[in-house]
Amino acid sequence: MTGKRILMGNEAIAFGAMKAGLQIASGYPGTPSSEVMETIISHAKKYGIYAEWATNEKVALETAVGAAYSGANTIVTMKQVGLNVASDPLMSLSYIGIKGSLVILVSDDPGPHSSQTEQDTRAFGHFSNIPVLDPSTPQEAYDMTKLAFKLSHELETPVILRTTTRVSHGCEDVLIEDIDPVTRDIEGFVKDTRWTIFPKLTAQRHPLLEELQVKMSDHFSEYFNDNTFNSITKGSSRIGIAASGVSALYAKEAIKEHSDVFSFFKSGTAYPFPEKAALKFMKGLNDLIVVEELDPYMEEQFLQIAGKYHLNINIHGKKNGSFPVSGEYDVDVVTDSINRALENIGSEDAESAAASIRLSHSVAAVKPEDIPALPIRAPTLCAGCMHRTVFYAFKKTAAKLKKQVGIDSVFSGDIGCYTLGNALPLNMVDTCLCMGAGISVAAGLSHTPEFMQGEKAKQVAFIGDSTFFHSGIAAVVSAVYNNADITIAVLDNRTTAMTGHQPHPGIGLTAMGSPAQMIDIAEVLKSCGVGMVKTIETDDLDKCMDIAAEAMEFEGPSAVVFKGKCVAICKATGQYVVDEEKCTNCKLCINQLGCPAIFSISSGIPVIQDTCSGCGLCAQICPSGAIVLKEA
């Protein structure tokens, strides 16, 4: 039913896609993008949509491309680092184009809150010659999603819908419309030489691609004239402010007491940049303040326009030090940055009344000393997480190996919950680059002893089950082929835990809940030629240590699949408590495990909280047998 609903930005995007006639959706989970697919999946059967979680972003995009070649309306979802994985097909796709419609939802993560990078997808769109829409609010995200499908179909090109964390996860009342179940009347694939990219076709298509950029820029300027996505308001001074995405909201909040003074340009079309609209806005201004998170993308566009049309205008942004060049913005950051820009303007133009304005924060400033200190809660593995058992087993095994034969160990990590194994007291992640890289990095290190004064070290690579399917298999094949002396520890908790517990090929269920062939990780490792492959449950520490030692002593590639439960989705099996009469207060359980369920106050004996999930690891390492199961 048409009406307003309180929606998260990601939910609004999903509803916008479904309203636009979405037929096929594919993606790989990654915060802050995951809820788009989750919402589509929850409504897929109702509206006749096919949705799937792919093994990685490259596969997800290629799957959506195949469907679009048949004329389907498709969407693919990922976060900004996922776009790196999908960049290979993306770059070629811009030359080929599509037949149906293809929207690529990419969520950037300024901050970053849960990512390896702060990269800016707007620049990626420019690089790949693919149009980029940049919503500021959940309502705009809904409306722009519908527009993205329309533009993709009209221009026969994929369209990137770029959001940031605060748009993806922000909530507001969103006006949505009735959604009709989709029809399956897809035209179907028609054989054509345009779908096969060879050097000759690339040479033929490249001029057309460049013509399309001009066409899109003109199209955007005409389409968005007097449109809320790209809007211009005139102020009484010769100072303008330009902003995009959620930064536009911050800027409007910062200047709300002086909104009649500044001209304001809000852009929702990041690429191609709306040059005609921007030029119209810039004429008559002496100074322009550009507000944007991450890269100085808009700032560079305005600088190019100023140079191209010989405009006498000063542009203030990241490049002249007015705004931070990295990190997430908020109203306070934007307020302070605009004030810095105004100070620069004031020193250059003493006669400008607007330049003498100083914006104030929306709330009274609070002195740091008046703020009570908050407890420090460093990221850590959950209480009872199976990964802690595996890390502890390898730590003890490595220490024993060092003592017996003098061989050090290097532990290469990966992206996932188990990245938190780097925290003290475990301290078991020596390298972490990107998804699937742990195995490849370990293999590279295994070939370098002669470059390290001949000191040989045992290389251990940790990788999760979902990441194994995402990008670990190719790394395994390469390690075996090149005879890398490494041990691979697959941490299999049967879910994609860090991004919201999505299914993967090792579970036996699809995204839509249908039964599927369960891919056995151990069998995959064997088929890749790994010399030693073992599988073990993580509930017995001694057995885990024994098999870790066996794998580390094996010459050549070895692997152990450690199976356990994700405590975030499985019920606790009991709770352990400390027997005060037996406890010697050695604090081994605290100092070696770092389990958040165990703590002590001052010199008191350890206390186990009710967040304990009953994994029993602490009981297994207690030298005095003081940690026991609580009686029912």
pLDDT tens, position by position, 250-286: 999 999 999 899 999 999 888 888 888 899 999 999 9
* pLDDT, tens digit (0-9, with 9 covering 90-100), for 60-110: 998 998 888 888 899 999 999 999 999 988 988 888 888 899 999 999 998
- Report pLDDT for 477: 93
Given 330, 347, 364, the domain boundary residue is 347
Residue 374 lies in a domain: no
- Report pLDDT for 539: 92
Q: Are residues 88 and 173 in the same domain?
A: yes
Q: How many angstroms separate the CA atoms of 431 and 29, rounded?
A: 23
Q: Are residues 413 and 539 in the same domain?
A: yes
Mean pLDDT, to the nearest integer, of 49-53? 92
- Report pLDDT for 269: 86
HEC string for 428-484: CCCECCCCCHHHHHHHHHHCCHHHCCCCCEEEEEEEEHHHHHHHHHHHHHHHHHCCC
- Report pLDDT for 200: 67
CA neighbor of 353 nearest in space, from 216, 244, 260: 260
Contacts of 25 (CB under 8 A, 6+ apart): 17, 37, 40, 41, 44, 49, 50, 51, 52, 64, 74, 75, 76, 77
Q: Are residues 524 and 604 in the same domain?
A: no
Number of compact structural domains in the chain? 4
**Whether the predicted pLDDT of 481 surpasses 60:** yes
- Report pLDDT for 572: 80
Q: How many angstroms separate the CA atoms of 19 and 5, rounded?
A: 15
Mean pLDDT, to the nearest integer, of 478-503? 91
Q: How many CB atoms lie within 10 A of CB 214?
A: 11
CATH number (domain holding residue 277):
3.40.50.920
Which has the higher per-residue pLDDT, 622 or 631? 622
Residue-by-residue DSSP string for 153-185: HHHTS-EEEEEEHHHHH-EEEEEE---PPPP--
Which class for 457: exposed (0-12), middle (13-18), buried (19 or more C-beta within 10 A)?
middle
Alpha helices in 199-330 (DSSP H): 199-223, 246-254, 275-282, 297-308
Q: How high is the mean pLDDT of the chain?
A: 88
Listing from the earlier edge strand, what are the strands of the sheet with 239-244? 231-233, 263-267, 239-244, 287-291, 314-316
Q: Is 321 left (phi over 0), alpha (psi -120 to 50) or beta?
A: left
User: Hey, what are 560's tokens?
Assistant: 């152990």
Q: Return the top range by mean pLDDT from 75-79, 216-220, 570-574.
A: 75-79
User: What Å distances lie between residue 3 and 15, 175, 177, 313, CA to CA?
Assistant: 12, 5, 7, 44
Given 319, 347, 375, the domain boundary residue is 347
Q: Worst-scoring range by mean pLDDT, 85-89, 378-382, 529-533?
A: 378-382
Q: Which residues are paired to 265 by β-bridges?
A: 232, 242
Annotated binding-site residue numbers: 583, 586, 589, 595, 612, 615, 618, 622
User: Hey, what are 196's tokens?
Assistant: 């096969």
- Report pLDDT for 600: 84
**Whether the predicted pLDDT of 222 surpasses 70:** no
**Helical pair 87-96 and 57-69, crossing angle rounded to 10 deg:** 20
381 alpha-carbon distance from chain centroid: 19
**Whether the predicted pLDDT of 569 surpasses 60:** yes
Q: How many angstroms separate the CA atoms of 552 and 407, rounded?
A: 11
Residue 390 lies in a domain: yes
CATH number (domain holding residue 44):
3.40.50.970
* pLDDT, tens digit (0-9, with 9 covering 90-100), for 596-608: 999 887 768 899 9
Q: How many angstroms separate the CA atoms of 340 and 346, rounded?
A: 10
* pLDDT, tens digit (0-9, with 9 covering 90-100), for 425-473: 999 999 888 888 899 899 988 888 655 555 678 899 999 999 999 989 9
Instruction: Provide the pLDDT confidence category of residue 548 given band limits of 50, 70 and 90.
Output: very high
Q: Are residues 458 and 497 in the same domain?
A: yes
Q: Are residues 604 and 512 in the same domain?
A: no
Q: Are residues 413 and 291 in the same domain?
A: no
Q: How many angstroms separate the CA atoms of 187 and 70, rounded?
A: 6
Mean pLDDT, to the nearest integer, of 177-181? 89
- Report pLDDT for 20: 95
- Report pLDDT for 490: 96
Q: Are residues 182 and 51 in the same domain?
A: yes
- Report pLDDT for 312: 93
Mean pLDDT, to the nearest integer, of 474-483? 92
- Report pLDDT for 452: 53
User: Hey, what are 85's tokens?
Assistant: 């994985």
CATH number (domain holding residue 616):
3.30.70.20
Residue 376 lies in a domain: no
Q: Are residues 80 and 27 in the same domain?
A: yes
Instruction: Provide the pLDDT confidence category of residue 515 given band limits of 50, 70 and 90.
Output: very high
CA neighbor of 385 nearest in space, from 614, 600, 541, 542: 614
* pLDDT, tens digit (0-9, with 9 covering 90-100), for 292-335: 999 999 999 999 999 999 999 999 999 999 999 999 999 999 99
Domain extent for 586: 576-629
CB 445 within 8 A of CB 459: yes
- Report pLDDT for 93: 87
Q: How many CB atoms lie within 10 A of CB 188?
A: 10
- Report pLDDT for 451: 56
Indicate the pTM of the whole model.
0.83
Residue 212 lies in a domain: no
- Report pLDDT for 242: 96
- Report pLDDT for 519: 93
Q: Are residues 625 and 527 in the same domain?
A: no
Residue 355 lies in a domain: no
Q: Calculate what percentage of the chain has a pLDDT beyond 70.
A: 91
Given 347, 375, 397, the domain boundary residue is 347
Residue 378 lies in a domain: no
Q: How many angstroms separate the CA atoms of 119 and 125, rounded?
A: 12
Cis link prior to 375 (omega < 30° from 0)? no
- Report pLDDT for 317: 95
Q: Which residues are paired to 161 by β-bridges?
A: 105, 133
Residue 206 lies in a domain: no
Q: Are residues 100 and 173 in the same domain?
A: yes
Q: Are residues 51 and 104 in the same domain?
A: yes
- Which helix (H) or strand (E) element contains residue 73? strand 73-79
Residue 399 lies in a domain: yes
Q: Are residues 182 and 121 in the same domain?
A: yes
Q: How many angstroms separate the CA atoms of 572 and 253, rounded?
A: 46
Q: Calculate what percentage of the chain has a pLDDT beyond 90.
A: 57
Annotated binding-site residue numbers for [4Fe-4S] cluster: 583, 586, 589, 595, 612, 615, 618, 622
Instruction: Provide the pLDDT confidence category of residue 118 given band limits of 50, 70 and 90.
Output: confident
